[in-house]
Chain A
């Protein structure tokens, strides 16, 4: 009975914090402007990438390399928005809205609250990725065919990959408990590291040996590779994971996600404890 009540309570917390997240993202303007912004933002980001690619390649259009970069960048939006978004929740709730202390002392589990806020980020980002891919298919000859997609693999990889991203986000949230608003750059730096080492814009094999080793322990490297393989896009590019079978990549993704999740959860709860010990739960810095 107690377990059932606990599950219900945590689900309730996640549901309402996800609702709050959605309200915060969508409620800043009228629905029409929000729709325009939601569509224009991912398309504008895609066009920047297209222009950069065309300039660098001297006008050679739409090879496997382009498909690789386009798809990787589209799915990397999850990394940026989930990592950055989750940690910003702590700073915003604590310093801007001054609600964190009231949520913290409520009977709801703060961990579940953060997961709910992450889910809202994922839903919003999914919409942006959908638009980006649709734009790519319609205007940039991205050969995405729904019949060619390995759906079971795609869905499995997405669930595991998003779990690893939420874990990374929660680890950074644990750090954010102890840092002030102006240190938000840490989150961007971590996202930047993933951008560089996880094979987003260029294949991992062109990195120095130590960087290849580093990239091969990060679950996001395998996640992006498996997303590309399941969508059957950009797979002709040598990514340094070319010799690793899909099954092996999936196993490595699972194992590294489990390890990072354990580490991330530990960091979150340690950060929570230290913040309560140091009196930082309601810190306002006026920066």
Chain B
């Protein structure tokens, strides 16, 4: 029987927040609540959730940075608490949105240091560093000091650091956060190719970008307030709301959206104000088609005018909104 890459049973993690006032009691925050999850070897698994949902906490536990409060977590068959030393040479991690690296060292020196901390033979380390710098289009910067690189280039170097050790399992915590479109696409393509290159490689990816999860992941879990709400393939998750009606509405920009919240049959909706174009984009998930008329009627009441109406297929974001009750970018 194949051992799962990740096996989590009844995992809990609490944090005690410091009391601001002297006499106030410290608050206990549940970052993870009874999480159960199995990720198979060879899977590219996505973890979706808003800020503070527990994604990073789960990754920290699995990559041996943090101890669980209770429950069990196994990585590649080893317990994260008792056997962390057996896990560490098989895994690696890349976090996005940070500027890690020794600024006084060059890109190559930084990577070389980490290759030696992983005990990589010199020849293999050199070959892999060169090859990955090429793939990440960083060859011309290999002798530049890390401190001179832009955030995007630093993140590419960080990606090379994570993948050069050829891990069996890699944790990617928002790897494309803050990167431009081209850099994001390059990294996504690289991840897709990397997992296909060799059998048995596993990726656990957290992302804010629904499209990224939809494009890359074999399976996706949605997490909110420390609880896993759903876990399946993107296609199966979309089937959860397939019978619902999803419509996109563009209206002249309006501040007060309360008229739409009160319409019966609206399961959830998200909005996005485009200030320069003076347009508000609304996306609704409805119980049935008949409610479209009520929504259209509500537009003049809100003091706006319709620019366009479009019926769409459900996306992963719609699933997320339905399960979590809000989008990743707004709180409605």
When the two chains form their complex, are residues B66 and A103 in contact, meaning their CB atoms are under 8 A apart?
no
**Contact A101-B65, Cβ < 8 Å, known A106-B88, A107-B89:** yes
Task: For residue B170, give the distance in angstroms from its CB to the closest CB of chain A.
Answer: 11
Please tell me if B153 contacts chain A, counting CB pairs below 8 Å: no
Pull 14 A–B residue pairs with CB atoms less than 8 Å apart, ordered by A. Answer: A16-B116, A23-B102, A97-B101, A103-B114, A105-B65, A107-B85, A107-B88, A107-B89, A107-B118, A276-B64, A277-B66, A279-B60, A279-B65, A281-B66
Q: Which chain A positions have C-beta within 8 A of B105?
A: 20, 23, 27
Q: How far is the CB of B284 from chain A (nearest CB, A)?
A: 39
Q: Which of B65, B85, B92, B116 contacts A282, CB < 8 Å?
A: B65
What's the Cα separation between A13 and B113 when bound, in Å? 9
Q: Which secondary structure characterizes the binding site on chain A?
A: helix
The 4 closest A-B pairs by CB, nearest first: A107-B89, A98-B100, A108-B117, A16-B116
Shortest Cβ distance from residue A180 to the other chain B in the assembled complex, whole angstroms: 12
Which residues of chain B (78-119) have a CB below 8 Å from chain A? Answer: 85, 88-89, 91-93, 95, 98-105, 109, 113-114, 116-119
Count B interface residues, CB 8 Å: 31
> Which of A13, A23, A104 is within 8 Å of B65, CB to CB?
A104
User: Does A45 lie at the interface of the complex (its beta carbon under 8 Å from any beta carbon of B)?
Assistant: no
B183: A residues at CB distance < 8 A: none
Tell yes or no: B63 within 8 A of A by CB.
yes
- Which B residues have a C-beta under 8 Å from some C-beta of A? 15, 57, 60, 63-67, 85, 88-89, 91-93, 95, 98-105, 109, 113-114, 116-119, 161
The answer on a CB contact under 8 Å between B88 and A105 is yes
Does B99 contact A105, Cβ atoms closer than 8 Å? no
Which residues in B have their C-beta under 8 angstroms from that of A105? 63-65, 88, 91-93
B65 lies within 8 A of A276 (CB):
yes
Question: Across the interface, do A99 and B102 meet the contact criterion of CB distance under 8 Å?
Answer: yes
Q: Find the A residue at minimum CB distance from B110.
A: A99
A287 at the interface (CB under 8 A from B): no
Given A97-B101, A282-B60, A276 and B66 contact (CB-CB distance below 8 Å): yes
* Residue contact B104 to A99, C-beta cutoff 8 Å: no
Apart from A23-B104, A102-B161, A279-B60, 8 more pairs, CB < 8 Å:
A20-B105, A97-B103, A99-B102, A102-B114, A104-B65, A279-B66, A281-B65, A281-B66
> Smallest Cβ distance from B64 to chain A, in angstroms?
6
In the bound complex, what is the Cα–Cα distance between A23 and B99 (angstroms)? 19
Beta-carbon nearest neighbor of A277 in chain B: B67
